[in-house]
Amino acid sequence: MNRDRTEPIRIGRIDYTNVWPIFHHFEPARLRCAPELVRAMPAELNRRLREGEIDMAGISSFAYGLNSEDYVLLPNLSVSARGPVQSILLFLKSPLEKVLDGGRIAMTTTSATSVNLLKILMEKFHGGHPVYESAEPDLEAMLKQADAALLIGDHAIRASWKSRGYEVVDLSDSWYRFTGMWMTFAVWAVRREAAAAKPADIMEIYEALVASKRISYGDMRPVIAHALRTVGGTEAYWEGYFGGLNHDFGAGQREGLSLFFKYARELGYMDKDVSIEEWRSAGPVAAPAAPPQ
């Protein structure tokens, strides 16, 4: 579906706390192009962007890989970690050895990246062969049916707070231990036709997102205060949480994401080699070089 280009740009916002540093100081109503914000779970934003219902969004990095030919990626924005992330969690009811040996893992319907990261870790790095199923993100209901449950985002955070003594594996930590690399969970993608039709609007939005991120990183206290008020927890928890997250997309994150795509392809979960194309090489930032005189 191609949207009517006279309408304002529609931006998807992941409805989890992990993106707050990018959005806390982002005020769409103050932008000249007055974009609309649509909040949803990552899997829903992945679908909406793929179907052209929205023009740009933070989406699962895996969903970017699946449809990369339709998208350009905004530089320097992501949800990444190098080591533990605290919100991509596998809760174990049975010992890991049993899970690996044909055990059942219930995986949240809200994710695309972490479900594939889980498969890579279980199969490539642990040599296991679990059985996967999708389930709504409700830990106790998931563990009634399965030996282990994968939750992400605020669902994982809240479940970790009221943990019933399950062993918990932080998948970002596992990825780092096995590869020594960054893991990028979400990237900011723009539909190619939107980037071509409205480059100035995309640039205005992009600069406002990057500015919001810069302000948040200069002082995380307002973001932490907002998280305390709306989600709960303690100040120390949120300091640790935002301290472990990273919202850049540079050489390290790119290298980690390429490796993730390579392993997903190797295991048959990604159907092609993915080349990561950032907007600067496709958009107005890359003005053609002046021809030699």
Ligand X SMILES: C=C(O[C@@H]1C=C(C(=O)O)C=C[C@H]1O)C(=O)O
Catalog residues that contact ligand X under the rule CB under 6 A.
14, 16, 18, 42, 60, 79, 85, 87-88, 111-114, 152-153, 185-186
Taking the complex as a whole, how short is the minimal distance between the CB of residue 58 and ligand X, in angstroms?
Answer: 7
- Bridge partners, residue 183, by sequence: 81
3-state class (DSSP) for residue 120:
helix
Query: Which helix or strand (DSSP H or E) is residue 270 part of?
Result: none
58 vs 283, which CB is nearer to ligand X? 58
Contact 81, 135 (CB under 8 A): no
Report how far residue 31's alpha carbon sits from residue 21's, in angstroms, rounded to the nearest whole number. 18
Query: How far apart are CB 5 and ligand X at their closest, in Å?
Result: 28
The residue (of 12 and 283) whose beta carbon lies closer to ligand X is 12
Q: How far apart are CA 252 and CA 182, in angstroms?
A: 6
Q: What is d(CA 61, CA 249) in angstroms, rounded to the nearest whole number?
A: 11
Q: Shortest gap between Cβ of 200 and ligand X (angstroms)?
A: 28
Residue 35 C-beta: closest distance to ligand X, Å:
20
Q: Which residue has the tokens 């949207």?
A: 3
Rounded Cα distance, 239 and 21, in Å: 12
The CB-of-41 to ligand X minimum distance in angstroms stands at 8
Least distance between ligand X and beta carbon 277 (Å)? 20
Residue 146 or 189: the one with the smaller Cβ distance to ligand X is: 189
Give the CA distances from residue 218 to residues 21, 27, 78, 89, 225, in Å, rounded to whole numbers and listed in that order. Answer: 10, 18, 17, 28, 15
Smallest CA-to-CA distance from 18 within 72, 81, 66 is with 81
Residue closest to 81 by CA, chosen among 253, 238, 198, 278: 253
Q: To the nearest whole angstrom, how small is the minimum distance from the Cβ of residue 244 to ligand X? A: 10
Give Cα separations from 256 to 25, 46, 198, 222 (angstroms): 28, 21, 31, 30
Phi, psi at 184, each rounded to 5°: -110, 115
Between CA 1 and CA 279 the distance in angstroms is 22
Shortest separation between residue 136's beta carbon and ligand X, angstroms: 15
| Choice between 148 and 201, CB closer to ligand X | 148
Based on CB atoms, which residue is closest to ligand X, 97 or 133?
A: 133
Comparison of 45 and 72: residue with beta carbon closer to ligand X: 45
For ligand X, give the closer residue by CB, 114 or 216. Answer: 114
Judged by beta carbon, residue 160 or residue 194, the one nearer ligand X is: 160
